[in-house]
């Protein structure tokens, strides 16, 4: 049909041209009445004429010349069918040698003549109808589709629970929904009602959408998916109409699952915010509340919604009977990360040296999406390096790229800046090695990444759900390691610790205001809402006095000062180790966990106790030496003697 629509303008032009030709050819034929024809016949010389004799009339067509003129004119006239008229026509039309032809009146039907005359108008009418209907498809007809649901339907979902790793407890929470969708009778016989709604809460990238699709795949039911923002439009009432249409379509496909992603876009609290709420969004939410648990019962429809902002949702949406169950999808632990890596490594060509368990240990705090990105970045790096398999070096670089961005190897340091960055990162490493509750050092590098001049990968010694006060203090002390090292070695500080200061200040404030880990006692001074845009407590101010605010500032400063003194003490006691790690970083630029441990235990990069494979020397032909002038070896990086001199000079200056 679309192909024919492209040819319509051409057909239209051809039709117009043919119609003009047709009517122009009839333009010289004069339509006469009977009286006019009798007057012309007295002075005209007829040539070819045709009589079409019907029951009551005689249709006469032909051509004639008038006296004194050579021009030939056409005529058409209708004469009553009488015997006298027929004799007169035969005499008049053949009087001057004209030829007369009697035509069969049934040769051309009235319907055929009518159809021939109507064809041009029919073509023009069809053309305009198709053109207007095509315009209406994107215009006026769309007005009726504007209020229809934008939910996408998948009838055969391929995702299963085996494709979702790292959330075993969450799977158990939704298994009853699968059983209900498969066999609802055993629940109704027991008098049980399956939850109408399941709210999945968790950080971004933890697999909330994937888990919802897996539920639909395991239950083998249709899966309606829509985003919360698809409901809200500029025109009031559109979102509510779309909600009604979505549930109407879902009712036809029941049992089914309706998945609403980012429900906080439409489910925020009503009447909140500066200047009131949004009428369109609130009407949409009202309709959603009614559809989920209102005057009608949507049997067989299970609503699954996902959000990472449950604190902004309307209380009416979270009550029992609507979202009965809340499933928290947290970041995976080490076992969950290993399972997720195994799922995403199915189609990856991994080398024999790749250990997914080791990779999971080095990625605490990574979500499922982050882990998938690590493996994908590793595969891209392997292709870039023209390798046949993904090696551990590729994955190690991929972790750094995901966390900090690509390495800026082209960025050149001055020797002074390189030494400064080396001591800064070495300070973090020493605190991680010598402080019991500090994070464990995995990797230290002075190669710039992102906005950071250096990079220190430190992971918790073991993953915990609750953190003690000593662990928070150790975290602050570790963050102060770089800045304190600069003070100790160079006698001044740089702006490189800005991110460290931001993190440690946040931790110290939370210790005082949220966790009650100070002399102010177990009182929470932080605003539990923290969302000014919701309009709550906007005019109430803080929930403590100015005097308490000053006490909070003193406690925060006290915590940081104590950690700073402890950090300085550790670095002064381990100054030799600090210098050794800094010197090694200047020479090698990157140190691994094993190399840093060897520096601490043996004072060198390698372990002297490990056996070294000694290869037997090969017999080679000894030739006479030729005296040649050997050019001096060019310096590479910082020479050891220069570095020793710089360190001695700094030590003397400090003493």
Instruction: Pick out the residues of the known binding site.
Output: 202-209, 424, 428, 500
Helix H or strand E segment including 154: strand 152-154
**Helix 469-479 and helix 546-573, axial crossing angle in degrees, nearest 10:** 70
User: Closest Cα to residue 166, out of 206, 121, 118?
Assistant: 206
Contact between residue 429 and residue 406 where contact means Cβ atoms under 8 Å apart: no
User: Closest Cα to residue 166, out of 336, 361, 329?
Assistant: 336
CA distance 512 to 522: 9
- From its phi and psi, is residue 510 left (phi > 0), alpha (psi between -120 and 50) or beta? alpha
Residues labelled catalytic: 425
Neighbour-count burial of 53, counting CB atoms closer than 10 A to its CB (0-12 exposed, 13-18 middle, 19+ buried) = middle
Q: Is 198 helix (H, G, I), strand (E, B) or coil?
A: strand
CA distance 445 to 439: 17
DSSP 444: E
Side-by-side strand order, sheet with 256-261: 152-154, 223-227, 256-261, 301-307, 197-201, 325-328
DSSP letters along 33-56, please?
A: -HHHHHHHHTTEEEEEEEEEE-SS
Tokens of 39: 């007057």
Tell me the helices (H) and strands (E) count for the chain, helix number first: 23, 14
Residue 129: CB atoms within 10 Å:
10
Q: Measured between alpha carbons, how far apart are the two ends of the chain, in Å?
A: 91
Chain centre to alpha carbon of residue 149: 20
Residue ranges of the annotated binding site for ATP are: 202-209
CA distance 209 to 306: 7
Residue ranges of the annotated binding site for Zn(2+) are: 424, 428, 500
């Amino acid at each position: 049909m679309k192909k024919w629509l492209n040819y319509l303008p051409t057909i239209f032009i051809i039709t117009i041209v043919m119609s003009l030709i047709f009517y122009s050819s009839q333009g010289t034929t004069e339509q006469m009445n009977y009286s006019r024809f009798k007057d012309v016949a007295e002075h005209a010389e007829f040539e070819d004429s045709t009589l079409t004799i019907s029951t009551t009339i005689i249709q006469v067509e032909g051509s004639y010349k008038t006296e004194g003129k050579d021009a030939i004119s056409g005529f058409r006239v209708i004469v009553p069918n009488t015997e006298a008229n027929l004799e007169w026509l035969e005499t008049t039309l053949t009087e001057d040698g004209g030829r007369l032809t009697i035509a069969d009146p049934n040769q051309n039907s009235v319907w055929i003549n009518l159809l021939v005359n109507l064809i041009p108008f029919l073509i023009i009418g069809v053309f305009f109808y198709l053109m207007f209907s095509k315009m209406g498809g994107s215009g006026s007809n769309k007005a009726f589709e504007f209020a229809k649901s934008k939910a996408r339907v998948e009838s055969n979902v391929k995702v299963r629970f085996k494709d979702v790793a790292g959330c075993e407890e969450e799977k158990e929470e939704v298994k009853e929904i699968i059983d209900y969708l498969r066999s609802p009778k055993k629940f109704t016989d027991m008098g049980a009602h399956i939850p109408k709604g399941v709210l999945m809460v968790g950080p971004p990238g933890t697999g909330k959408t994937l888990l919802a699709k897996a539920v639909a795949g395991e239950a083998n039911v249709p899966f309606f998916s829509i985003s919360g923002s698809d409901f809200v439009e500029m025109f009031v009432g559109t979102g509510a109409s779309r909600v009604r249409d979505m549930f109407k379509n879902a009712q036809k496909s029941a049992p089914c699952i309706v998945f609403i992603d980012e429900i906080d876009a439409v489910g925020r609290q009503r009447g909140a915010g500066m200047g009131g709420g949004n009428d369109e969004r609130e009407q949409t939410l009202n309709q959603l509340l009614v559809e989920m648990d209102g005057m009608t019962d949507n049997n067989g429809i299970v609503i699954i919604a996902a959000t990472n902002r449950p604190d902004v949702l309307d209380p009416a949406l979270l009550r029992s009977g609507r979202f009965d169950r809340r499933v928290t999808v947290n970041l995976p632990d080490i076992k969950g990360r290993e399972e997720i890596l195994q799922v995403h490594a199915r189609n990856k060509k991994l080398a024999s040296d790749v250990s997914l368990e080791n990779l999971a240990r080095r990625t605490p705090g990574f979500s499922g999406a982050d882990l998938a990105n690590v493996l994908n970045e590793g595969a891209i790096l392997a292709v870039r390096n023209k390798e046949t398999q993904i090696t551990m070096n590729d994955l190690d670089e991929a972790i750094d790229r995901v966390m900090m961005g690509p390495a800026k190897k082209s960025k050149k340091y001055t020797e002074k800046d390189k030494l400064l960055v080396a001591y800064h990162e070495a300070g973090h490493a020493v605190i991680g090695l010598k402080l019991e509750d500090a994070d464990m050092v995995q990797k230290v590098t002075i190669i710039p990444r992102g906005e950071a001049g250096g990079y220190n990968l430190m992971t918790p010694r073991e993953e915990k759900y609750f953190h003690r006060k000593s662990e928070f203090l150790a975290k602050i002390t570790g963050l102060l390691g770089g800045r304190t090292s600069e003070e100790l070695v160079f006698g001044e500080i740089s702006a490189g610790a800005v991110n460290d200061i931001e993190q440690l200040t946040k931790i110290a404030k939370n210790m005082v205001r949220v966790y009650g880990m100070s002399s102010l006692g177990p009182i929470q001074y932080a605003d539990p809402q923290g969302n000014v845009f919701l309009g709550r407590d906007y005019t109430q101010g803080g929930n403590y006095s100015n005097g308490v605010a000053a006490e909070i500032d003193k406690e925060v400063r006290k915590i940081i000062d104590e950690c700073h003194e402890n950090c300085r003490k550790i670095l002064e006691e381990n100054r030799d180790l600090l210098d050794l790690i800094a010197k090694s970083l200047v020479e090698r630029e990157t140190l691994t966990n094993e190399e840093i441990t060897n520096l601490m235990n043996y004072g060198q990069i390698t372990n002297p106790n490990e056996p070294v494979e000694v290869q037997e020397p090969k017999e080679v032909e000894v030739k006479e030496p030729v005296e040649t002038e050997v050019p001096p070896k060019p310096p590479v990086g910082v020479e050891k003697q220069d570095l020793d001199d710089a360190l001695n000079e700094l030590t003397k200056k400090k003493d």
